[in-house]
A = this chain, B = another copy of it.
């Protein structure tokens, strides 16, 4: 009831230009020395930009465009309605141009580098930078023979990694969503902060996390027209290196193919045949399936399902965040799954289940499916993030909960 009142109040206040609650403070996403975006206690977002000759300026957030007001000094200022707790992509619309807010930090999502704002969450302490032993995010490039290109990857190592020069560690391969890239988990995902805090509190065992780019641009076959766009395979071109995808079950999309886009085949090939051997050679890993996990959000969750069911000998631990479930029939139809799998973790934001996002809430119930999987003998867990949608706070919380179950 309180929430409905707040939504109605902020919305009407914003439309009418009436006063919203004047306790705005700069968000954590302001650039050094800048003051906007700001957030108030009603979780409304305020932006301000100088555009003296503009006819109109809007704040575009959460699928809604909010008109800004022009100040006497040529600045435009205004507020959104209340947002969910957590991280949201946004942009400004200046006379029809969709541009980043020049005051905010930038993140890659929605297929562009652009603005983001964190609405403080009641539980934000779990992803804060704190004075605890700090791990590292390591940025590396490596050569991919399959894609004939240098690939760019981030690797989290726990704080103790260099202090224990002979100890070996389990590895989690952790994937971003559609329209995002390998920067997603280190930046908006707060991976290092979540893990450092968990490990310092004794709630997670130390492990390595590899954050890859989930798309693979395949090289142009010899003889293809030079003008063909890079990364598109001409029709009929050999797909020789794509491993066989598992068969879909019960009307679900066949593993690896979604709307005709081969979202897991080429990536799964690179991941299993190039990334994992590179990581096992370069880092002190425990190179067996029991100590290897894959997880991902949204598209990355679908890739995780597809790749893990195709390679149950490679990954014994599975996390799917807002990207589907592992059903009893998935498990029964995957050879060796019942022997090799050690953990299945499925999560959603509560608003995703309320809203039944197409493709995720497809009439089935992930809680029921995961409960059934557990009853069938799997070590299956689910987590529902309260009050969040298909956004990063759902996935920060998913990692926080998944990490506490992993490799124990």
Contact yes or no, B113 A106, CB < 8 A:
yes
Q: How many copies does the complex hold?
A: 2
Q: Which partner residue on chain B sits nearest A148 by CB separation?
A: B131
Contact residues in B for A131 (Cβ distance below 8 Å): 143, 150
In angstroms, Cα B113 to Cα A100, docked, is 10
Contact pattern, A 275-287, Cβ under 8 Å of B = 1, otherwise 0: 0000000110000
User: Does chain B have a CB within 8 A of A140?
Assistant: yes
User: With an 8 A cutoff between CB atoms, is A171 at the interface?
Assistant: no
* A147 at interface, CB cutoff 8 A: no
B102 contacts A98, CB within 8 Å?
yes
Is the beta-carbon distance between A54 and B136 smaller than 8 angstroms? no
Please measure, in the bound complex, the distance between the C-alpha atom of A142 and the C-alpha atom of B31, giving whole angstroms.
Answer: 21
CB-nearest residue of chain B relative to A106? B106
Known: A102-B98, A102-B99. A53 touches B55 (CB 8 A): yes
For residue A354, CB closer than 8 A to chain B, the reply is no
> Which of chain B's residues have a CB closer than 8 A to the CB of A39?
none
Q: How far is B55's CA from A356's CA once the two chains are assembled, in angstroms?
A: 42
Minimum CB distance partner of A101 in chain B: B99
Question: Which among A3-11, A44-52, A255-263, A292-300 touches the partner chain?
Answer: A44-52
In the complex, the answer to whether A51 meets B111 with C-beta atoms within 8 Å is: no
A102 touches B94 (CB 8 A): no
A288 within 8 A of B: no
| Interface membership of A137, Cβ < 8 A | yes
Taking a contact as CB atoms under 8 Å apart, the answer to whether A95 and B134 are in contact is no
Instruction: Give min CB distance, A49 to chain B, whole Å.
Output: 6
For this complex, into which size category does the number of interface residues on chain A fall? 35 or more
Which chain B residue shows the least CB distance to A49?
B97
Q: Does A375 contact B (CB under 8 A)?
A: no
With an 8 A cutoff between CB atoms, is A105 at the interface? Answer: yes
Give the shortest distance, in Å, between A261 (CB) and chain B (any CB): 14
Interface centre among A32, A97, A100 (most CB of B within 10 A): A97
Q: Which residues of B contact A33 (CB under 8 A)?
A: 111
Q: Which residue of chain B lies nearest to A231 when distances are taken between CB atoms in the complex? A: B33
Q: CB < 8 Å: which of B50, B91, B97, B100 contacts A54?
A: B97
Complex Cα–Cα for A165 and B283 (A): 12
If A134-B141, A136-B139 are given as contacts, then 10 extra A-B residue pairs at C-beta distance below 8 Å, sorted by A number, are A31-B112, A32-B111, A50-B96, A50-B97, A51-B97, A53-B95, A57-B97, A94-B95, A100-B100, A102-B114
Pairs across A and B, CB under 8 Å, 28 listed? A31-B113, A50-B96, A50-B98, A51-B94, A52-B95, A53-B55, A53-B96, A54-B54, A54-B94, A55-B55, A74-B96, A94-B97, A94-B99, A95-B95, A97-B99, A99-B100, A100-B106, A102-B114, A105-B113, A130-B150, A131-B143, A134-B140, A134-B141, A136-B138, A136-B139, A138-B139, A139-B186, A165-B165
